[in-house]
Amino acid sequence: MPATSAAYARLSAVFPGLRITAAAPPPDGGWVCVAELARGGPALAAFVAGDARRLTGAHGARPRPDVAAALALHRYLWPACLLFTVPWFLHRRVPRLPVGDVGFHPASGRFTARTRTFACLPQDAAAALPGARAVASPDALREELRAALDEHLTAVLAGFAPLLRRGPRALWRSAHDEITEGLWYIGRLLGEEDRAVAELSQLLPGKARFAAAGPAGPAARTGSAGPDAPADAASRPARERLTCCLFYTVSPSGTCAGCPRTRASGRIRSPASAV
């Protein structure tokens, strides 16, 4: 059994909308190898066009081409980042998943992930499995996770970039949003929100940017990567996204969860899920 199978099974148990099979990308049946999305061209155009139709049907307004591409990117990245972060969070295993080893089914949102190699800690029983590489410490394992994410996301962002009105810095800020919000949300479903926030604050120092939130709204930002101590048991960490996903341009309800366009008094205290 692949080293990531148990983590993906537990993820699907708490979040049934995301199904991940530890296998090679299927060649047909509506599946797309993510390497095709990273190359741009027909596969990416079809994915973005399909999302544009879906958004038009759901909200009654056809998105601008760059908005459709931005929301398609969000719909891919939010779950794709969990392929890496959930095995790390649950079992301290970091799969190396280049785009050629990941399959995506746009119609259902399902994934396949073929883990050829992974990093783990020396005391992990999985260190004896084929493809395992033991690293010396939790800090080193975080470096492995950042490197694995960078490898995958660099390729995907390069494919989407020509369709978006965003430069490289804005694209990476958006990617940091997806990494943070995905694991934060799953951590809550697992009953481990506080640990997820703490882990993310170490993984992406200065990028997670959590703050304490009480009944009256989030506390003032202090610039720290980690959350302030909650004021009471009802308080929960809050986060403002680093970038706007542009969902407000197609949704009659306006800005979505954690949008930086929203004033501080209106910010939410929970992570955004995939659109």
Name the residue with higher pLDDT: 266 or 110. 110
Q: Is residue 199 part of a domain?
A: yes
pLDDT at 25: 85
Arithmetic mean of pLDDT over the chain: 84
Q: Is residue 274 part of a domain?
A: no
For 84-106, write each residue's pLDDT tens digit.
Answer: 999 999 999 999 999 999 999 99
Question: Would you place residue 218 in the very low, low, confident or very high pLDDT band (cuts 50, 70, 90)?
Answer: very low
- Decide if 72 contacts 107 (C-beta within 8 A): no
Q: Is residue 272 part of a domain?
A: no
Average pLDDT over residues 108-131: 96
Range of the domain at 185: 5-266
Q: Is residue 211 part of a domain?
A: yes
Q: Is residue 6 pLDDT above 80, yes or no?
A: yes
- Tokens 């929960």 belong to 236
Number of structural domains (the chain) is: 1
**Neighbour count for residue 235 (Cβ, 10 Å):** 19
Question: Model-level pTM?
Answer: 0.85
Q: Is residue 255 part of a domain?
A: yes
For 156-190, write each residue's pLDDT tens digit.
Answer: 999 999 999 888 888 999 999 999 999 999 999 99
**What is the strand order of the sheet 117-120 is part of?**
93-96, 117-120, 132-134
Q: Is residue 115 part of a domain?
A: yes
- Decide if 76 contacts 103 (C-beta within 8 A): no
Distance CA 273, CA 248 (A): 15
Contacts within 8 Å (CB) and 24+ apart, 183-190: 183/81, 183/82, 183/85, 183/86, 183/89, 184/239, 184/271, 185/270, 185/271, 185/272, 185/273, 186/11, 186/14, 186/15, 186/82, 186/86, 186/89, 187/89, 188/270, 188/271, 189/14, 189/15, 190/10, 190/14
Q: Is residue 240 part of a domain?
A: yes
Q: What are phi and psi of 259, to 5 degrees?
A: -65, 135
Question: Would you place residue 264 in the very low, low, confident or very high pLDDT band (cuts 50, 70, 90)?
Answer: very low
Q: Is residue 271 part of a domain?
A: no
Q: Can you give the three-state secondary structure of 77-104, one letter per residue?
A: HHHHHHHHHHHHHHHCEEEECCHHHEEE
For 133-153, write each residue's pLDDT tens digit.
Answer: 999 999 999 999 999 999 999
Distance CA 73, CA 46 (A): 13
